[in-house]
Amino acid sequence: MFSFSQPLHFTLFGGFSNYQGDLQDKPFTISQANAAFGFGVEYDIDGHVSVRGGFNFAKVSGDDKKNTQADLVARNLNFKSNITEANLSVVYNIFDLNEYRLTPYVFGGIAIYHFDPYTYDTSGNKYYLKPLSTEGQGLMPYPERKPYNLTQFAVPFGAGVKFRLTQNVMVGYEIGFRKLFTDYLDDLSTTYVDQTPLEAERGAKAVELAFRGGEVKPGAFYPIHGTTRGGEKFKDWYYFSGITLSIGINHRKRYYENSMGGKSRIDCPPSLK
């Protein structure tokens, strides 16, 4: 009878990141994808189940200029944000990796991430959007609109496939989604607020970046208070897709029960299907 020690793996990820929210008119798009990478460790409990933790670094972005709906193009808002994420997940391999080289898998867990949306004005100057309260967050006339937190929890889940190249090296492809509990990843959620208190408390730049329709349609007026700016019904998401690499930190040790009831070690790798 054979048995294997539970190995520890160092993991690497490289691929693309994207987001789903008010500045994307499609659930998935390649046109606004950005680079993403990560690293971590994974511990095999058995051939099917493992626990992994890691860190991911990425950028997400959205731009109305790249949308296809005329009303969104006319709105002319955009954002970018770096994402820093720490996560912990349970992975379930469909096939036992002690017996097969190739297996699909699914995973789910918990993550904490940091974001900070920003944009550039027409002069190319960078502005972080949260301090501008573009939808009245934290302003006296809008006590119900609270400032959003830049560090929050998320629920990561997804699926992939991995292939064992050698006894201690695996490669794969994975797509992972993050369910968020905020609609302000892109600093866009509800309605336009009155520009008078917005300018009084946050300055003219806040008004300029809260409504940018005048940049594509000269003479366009700032919308009246309560005009729809975003859709608060659905929360934002971000997601990763790309190549994974897993390298065993300690070697699997293969044993068999000998005729004396003890165990002897076999140094050669197991036969995998």
Domain that holds residue 30: 8-132+149-195+210-266
In this model, does residue 260 exceed pLDDT 80? no
The pair of structure tokens assigned to 49 is: 């189940």
What pLDDT was estimated at residue 251?
54
Residue 25 phi/psi, 5-degree rounding, is -95, 5
Is residue 1 situated within a structural domain? no
Range among 4-8, 116-120, 231-235 rated most confident: 116-120
Is residue 204 situated within a structural domain? no
Eight-class DSSP state of 205: H
How far is the C-alpha of 227 from the C-alpha of 47, rounded, in Å?
55
Is residue 142 situated within a structural domain? no
In this model, does residue 12 exceed pLDDT 90? yes
* CA neighbor of 242 nearest in space, from 40, 73, 34: 34
What is the domain count for the chain?
A: 1
Is residue 120 situated within a structural domain? yes
What pLDDT was estimated at residue 259?
44
Is residue 272 situated within a structural domain? no
Residue found by looking up tokens 């002319």 in the block? 76
CATH of the domain at 17: 2.40.160.20
Q: What is the pLDDT of residues 139-189, one digit of tens each?
A: 999 999 999 999 999 999 999 999 999 888 999 999 999 999 999 999 999
pLDDT band at 257 (very low <50, low <70, confident <90, very high): very low
How far is the C-alpha of 17 from the C-alpha of 256, rounded, in Å?
45
Is residue 159 situated within a structural domain? yes
In this model, does residue 271 exceed pLDDT 60? no
Quote helix, strand, coil % in the chain, to nearest 5. Answer: 10, 45, 45
Is residue 202 situated within a structural domain? no
Is residue 165 situated within a structural domain? yes
Average pLDDT, the chain: 89
